[in-house]
């Protein structure tokens, strides 16, 4: 991106959202999807923060260094802001395509993720208070019960797809349970969240339908309060608009990334003989395997948009205002400058898969509990578990923001003790 000089008042002049002169690297499309790490290595060669094309015609920066990512995340809200309404030039000037998948993932919403200062503290406080009411013992029991329901559906068959039949639906079903959403609303929410996070051409439609389903749930809980997270958020005094967008944030943060973490941890178990042996024998617990995944293959690969409040230099990289800055959690965690070996990463929570700073995940412990319980339950239930396809034939979910195995076909010893007809 060219670097406009500040005006006498210290502000950068508004300029059209045009491609930078040195053609930024796309972080989408077949080449990127085939080998994202190769793209990150290429970008890292140009510095800790690189110019990228986030989606067709959508330009910004990508932080690919661990220490630069920490610096940017922890400099919010002083040097970097969250609200794209005032800081994303292409959005502000009407140059962002309405159907852009990047818009659906990065547009402003009335929830804590997109706010700074007192508004952020108020909305985040409502979330943390609501989540503090979750009993972790009860949550473990809930996840195990839901896991058994999904496992019972295919355990007698001796084969299955651990993504479609287990990892994908389990976290969403858990969140729906925590929200005490009735089936007619919960089913629609699951469908629309999945479509939205796929960031495909139907993302805009999915967003509208998801907001409608969340509003229906909010109105139901206002009329009939319960002992659930939605009711707790209502008690915090949030408006209907804030409640809908907060639910959308919670669904998005809790379900798709958790699903990908479950799938990737199971994949690691299936393809790494050393890890599989350790997990099975109890030498290395599933929790340690999960931390390795969060280092090497974080489910949220590139996200947490931020905006420079003024021209700024971070670790020698110049950033101009008006463009989104994405944090590449995948690139930062794999930064060679950290000098970590795979052994160093096992059980090490120094990664930033849950982000950092003011907008870090408010409940990483709950996410870890859901993943480890789901993985442990499956390993306990399915014996002689093996991949049904060659390791290099496991398809990866393409995408800029979220990644994981698209399917995980397996074989195992049929469980004749599983209930029939469930």
1 band by pLDDT with thresholds 50, 70 and 90: low
Query: Mean pLDDT, to the nearest integer, of 374-385?
Result: 95
pLDDT of 314 higher than 80: yes
- Domain-embedded: residue 173: yes
pLDDT of residue 192: 86
pLDDT, average across residues 84-104:
90
The answer to whether position 10 is within a domain reads no
Q: Is residue 405 part of a domain?
A: yes
Q: How confident is the model at residue 59 (pLDDT cuts 50, 70, 90)?
A: very high
CA atoms within 13 A on the CB side of 41: 5
> pLDDT-based confidence at 397, cuts 50/70/90?
confident
- State the pLDDT at residue 211: 93
Does 422 map to a domain? no
The parent domain of residue 125 ranges over: 25-413
The mean per-residue pLDDT over the stretch 77-100 comes to 92
pLDDT score, position 22: 62
pLDDT of residue 2: 42
CA distances from 241 to 40, 149, 245, 289, 295 (A): 38, 34, 6, 39, 35
Tell me the C-alpha distance between 76 and 267, whole Å.
35
Domain for residue 7, yes or no? no
20 neighbors 2 (Cβ within 8 angstroms): yes
DSSP 197-257: HTT-TTHHHHHHHHHHHHHHHHHHHHHS--SSHHHHHHHTT--HHHHHHHHHHHHHHHSHH
Mapping DSSP to helix (H, G, I), strand (E, B) and coil, where does residue 409 land? Answer: strand
- Residue 42 tokens read as 């290429």
| 390 pLDDT higher than 90 | yes
* Helix 169-179 and helix 136-152, axial crossing angle in degrees, nearest 10: 130
Q: List residues bridging with 55 in a β-sheet.
A: 58
pLDDT at residue 284, as a whole number: 67
Q: Is residue 12 predicted with pLDDT exceeding 60?
A: no
DSSP label at residue 303: E
Q: How many domains does the chain have?
A: 1
Beta pairing class for 159-161 and 317-319: unpaired
Does the residue 56 lie in any domain? yes
pLDDT in tens, 265-296: 999 999 887 666 554 555 568 998 899 999 99
pLDDT in tens, 218-227: 999 999 999 9
pLDDT in tens, 135-187: 999 999 999 999 999 999 999 999 999 999 999 999 999 999 999 999 889 88
For the domain that residue 257 is a member of, what is the CATH number?
A: 1.10.630.10
The chain-wide mean pLDDT, for the chain, equals 89
DSSP string, 156-170: TTTEEETIIIIITHH
Q: Token pair 């049904």 is at which residue? A: 388
Give how far Cα 321 sits from Cα of 50, 92, 114, 365, 391, Å. 14, 13, 17, 35, 44
Question: Could you give the CA distance from residue 266 to residue 402 in angstroms, rounded to a whole number?
Answer: 17
Residue 13 within a domain: no
pLDDT for the residue 3: 38
Whether pLDDT at 13 is above 50 = no
Which pLDDT score, from 0 to 100, does residue 54 have?
A: 95
Q: Is 53 exposed, middle or buried (0-12, 13-18, 19+ CB in 10 A)?
A: buried
Question: What count of other Cβ atoms lies within 10 Å of the Cβ of residue 333?
Answer: 22
By residue count, the chain amounts to 422
In a domain, 6, yes or no: no
DSSP 59-123: EEEEE-SHHHHHHHHHTTTTTEE--HHHH-HHHHTT-S-TT-HHHHHHS--SSGGG--HHHHHHH
Q: How many whole angstroms separate alpha carbon 192 and alpha carbon 217?
A: 14
- Is the pLDDT confidence value at 21 over 60? no
pLDDT, tens digit, for every residue of 181-213?
Answer: 998 898 888 888 777 766 677 878 888 999 999
Residue 402 per-residue DSSP state: B
């Amino acid at each position: 991106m060219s670097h406009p000089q500040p005006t006498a008042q210290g502000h950068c002049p508004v300029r059209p959202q045009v491609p930078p002169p040195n053609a930024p690297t796309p972080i989408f499309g077949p080449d990127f999807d085939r080998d994202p790490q190769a793209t990150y290595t290429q970008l890292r060669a140009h510095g800790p923060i690189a110019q990228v094309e986030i989606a067709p015609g959508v330009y910004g920066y990508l932080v690919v260094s661990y220490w630069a990512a920490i610096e940017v995340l922890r400099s919010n809200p002083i040097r970097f802001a969250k609200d794209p309404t005032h800081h994303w030039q292409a959005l502000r000037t009407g140059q962002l395509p309405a159907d852009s998948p990047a818009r659906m993932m990065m547009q402003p919403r009335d929830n804590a993720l997109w706010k700074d200062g007192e508004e952020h503290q108020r909305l985040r406080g409502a979330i943390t208070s609501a989540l503090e009411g979750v009993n972790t013992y009860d949550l473990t029991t809930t996840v195990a019960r839901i896991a058994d329901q999904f496992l019972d559906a295919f355990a007698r068959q001796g084969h299955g797809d651990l993504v479609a039949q287990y990892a994908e639906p389990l976290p969403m079903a858990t969140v729906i349970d925590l929200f005490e959403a009735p089936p007619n609303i919960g089913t629609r929410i699951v469908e629309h969240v999945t479509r939205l996070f796929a960031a495909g051409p139907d993302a805009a439609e999915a967003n509208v339908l998801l907001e409608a389903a969340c509003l229906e749930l909010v109105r139901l809980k206002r009329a009939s309060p319960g002992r659930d997270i939605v009711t707790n958020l209502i008690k915090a005094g949030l408006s209907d608009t804030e409640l809908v967008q907060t639910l959308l944030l919670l669904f998005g943060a809790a379900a798709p990334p958790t699903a990908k973490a479950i799938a990737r941890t199971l994949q690691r178990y299936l393809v790494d003989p050393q890890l599989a042996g350790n997990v099975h024998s109890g030498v290395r617990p599933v929790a340690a395997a999960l931390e390795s995944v969060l280092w090497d293959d974080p489910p949220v690969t590139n996200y947490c948009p931020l905006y420079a409040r003024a021209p700024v230099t971070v670790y020698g990289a110049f950033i101009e205002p008006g463009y989104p800055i994405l944090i590449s959690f995948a690139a930062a965690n794999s930064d060679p400058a950290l000098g970590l070996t795979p052994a160093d990463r096992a059980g090490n929570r120094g990664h930033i898969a849950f982000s950092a700073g003011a907008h870090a995940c408010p409940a990483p412990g709950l996410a870890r509990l859901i993943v480890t319980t789901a993985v442990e339950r499956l390993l306990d239930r399915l014996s002689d578990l093996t991949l049904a396809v060659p390791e290099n034939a496991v398809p990866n979910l393409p995408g800029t923001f979220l990644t994981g195995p698209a399917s995980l076909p397996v074989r195992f010893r049929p469980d004749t003790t599983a209930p029939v007809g469930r």
